[in-house]
Structure formats: C-alpha cells, structure tokens
Amino acid sequence: MAKVKLTVAYDGTDFHGFSRQPGLRTVQGELEAAVCRICGTPYEVYGASRTDAGVHAKKQVAHIVLDERMQLPIERIGYALRMQMPRDIVVQDVSRVADQFHARHDAMRKVYRYFFATTRAPDVFRARYQMNVPVPLNDEAMRLGAVHLIGRHDFTSFCFAHAQQESKVRTLHSLEVVRVDEATLYLEVVGKSFLHNMVRILAGTLLEVGKGRIPPAQIQHILASRDRRAAGPTAPARGLTLWDIAYPSDCDAPVQELSS
C-alpha cells in the first residue's frame, strides 16, 4: 500500500464538476480513466474539494491509495498521467505521502477566488474565468460589506436552499476584495470548508453591494435572517476558481523515506 498525492489544475468550463457522474465528463472521471489506462486497473481518486460544474481549479488536491497492482514507480506516475490528460487538466505534481494522508479530511484551509471583469470590453482570454459586469463596482463598499461575513456564523442565507449539509455554521478566515486593475476585481475567500454554492452566493451578494443595490451594513441583517431569499443571486460558476489548499506541514510533505 502506498498513498500518493496529486496536485491538479483544470479549466472547469467543459466539465460537469469534479465528482464522477455516469455518462458525464468530470474531472474525477478523467483522472480515474487516465490512472486506469496507465496501470490497467481502476483506482479511486479522492478529491479535496468537489467543485461544481464550470468551476475551475488552479490547485486541487487529491489522493490515491495504490497497491501492488500499480506497476509504475511513483516517480513516473506524474509524467505518465500528464501524457494521458486532455489539455484542460494539468497534473502539476504527484508525490508519495504518509499513509494517513487524506486529501479532504486533512485540508486545513481552502482558498477560492471569484473574478469579475469590470469594463465594457473584457479581456477575451480571461472571459472563460470571470463574470462580466460591465458597470463600475464600488469595491470600497464591497469591503465594508465583507467585514460582516468574516468569522464563525450560521451561513444559511448564503447556502443553496436545498443543500443537504445539516449544520450551516462555518468559519470564514478571511474575505478580501482585491482590485487587480481597471478591468479586474476578485474576491478571495478563505475557510476550512464551505456550504453548497456558498462562495458563489457570497460573490453574488457582494456584487449587489458593489453595484449600490444593497448597502454594506445590510449584510449583517442578511446573515441574521438565515434565509436564502435575503441574499443576492448565485454568481455564475465560471467566475470561481479553487485557488489553493493548505495542509499541516507534517501530513503534506512528500514522504520519500517510507517504503511500500
């Protein structure tokens, strides 16, 4: 038995999300098919974050539990997988990790960015990765609204109404509004875990604040109402990118000294 950690990036546009679904093109499905092609037997690929259809990843992490059926040495799996992947998935790194490592359970912090194009003529080479909002956005108002969301709260108002998660309490470590240039602005949301559609509803609500339709101070009332209808619309998937996932240094480090 050997545990292997994969770091992958993908353009989510042409995927029905991360999680395997019969008959649909998914990131997990493509990864598992490639692993199967290089070793001849199926292995499950466990992802840290089950990104929705259309959501991108600059850094997604997954693990595979290999056994003696894997003939390829671990140091060659990365190269072999890269040769197998379609252009919209890039396998960045493959490394041996401690047997206890679990991509999802051990994730300490996930970073998502939601990108807005804020000019009438957006960058066509970024159009797949951002929401086009051809009106000026008041990023200072968005920052004032965002402050109310940081910390531990019941985020029912910012959760897909039919979500299955029982507890709607989550902790936002940070929520920043960053203006890159005249044409681009993004939200950076950091937390350990999120509710269904939570980042996209946060983005859609702060967008209303940026447009002047919701005053920043109203965000605390939206939060307190615990009512999805009080918040803004769910911003489109294409603006959202899973940006980074952090692990405690002891379980994230490649373990070269262990033998299988």
User: Catalytic annotation on 52?
Assistant: yes
Q: Of these, 16, 128, 173, 196, which contacts a second copy (CB under 8 A)?
A: 128
Quickly count: other Cβ atoms within 10 Å of residue 213's Cβ: 10
CA-wise closest residue to 170 among 109, 129, 81: 109
CA-wise closest residue to 236 among 209, 191, 199, 211: 199
Which residue's CB is nearer to a second copy, number 61 or number 219? 61
Which residue's CB is nearer to a second copy, number 1 or number 124? 124
Contact region with a second copy (CB under 8 A), list: 21-29, 128-136, 166-174, 190-198: 128-136
What span, in angstroms and rounded, lies between the C-alpha atoms of 206 and 143? 9
Across the chain, the runs of DSSP E, i.e. the strands, are: 2-10, 46-47, 56-66, 89-97, 109-117, 131-132, 151-154, 169-181, 184-191, 240-246
Stretch 68-97 residues interacting with a second copy (CB under 8 A)? 79, 82, 87-93
Exactly one of 52, 106, 139, 252 is catalytic; name it.
Answer: 52
The one-letter amino acid at 251: C
The verdict on 120 binding a second copy (CB under 8 A) reads: yes
CA-wise closest residue to 211 among 226, 233, 244: 233
The one-letter amino acid at 112: Y
The verdict on 180 binding a second copy (CB under 8 A) reads: no
Q: Of these, 122, 204, 216, 232, which contacts a second copy (CB under 8 A)?
A: 122
The per-residue DSSP string of 137-204 comes to: --HHHHHHHHHTTSEEEE-GGGS-TT---S--EEEEEEEEEEEEETTEEEEEEEES---TTHHHHHHH
Q: Total residues at the site for a second copy (CB under 8 A)?
A: 25
Q: Of these, 4, 5, 6, 10, which contacts a second copy (CB under 8 A)?
A: 10
Q: Of these, 22, 23, 68, 121, which contacts a second copy (CB under 8 A)?
A: 121
CA-wise closest residue to 61 among 96, 88, 92, 15: 92
The verdict on 38 binding a second copy (CB under 8 A) reads: no
Which residue's CB is nearer to a second copy, number 82 or number 211? 82
Contact region with a second copy (CB under 8 A), list: 19-27, 123-131, 184-192, 212-220: 123-131
Stretch 41-60 residues interacting with a second copy (CB under 8 A)? 56, 58
Which residue's CB is nearer to a second copy, number 87 or number 229? 87
CA distances from 177 to 9, 135, 147, 168, 174 (A): 23, 17, 10, 24, 10
The verdict on 124 binding a second copy (CB under 8 A) reads: yes
Residues assigned a catalytic role = 52
Which residues contact a second copy by CB under 8 A?
Answer: 9-11, 56, 58, 79, 82, 87-93, 120-125, 127-129, 132, 134
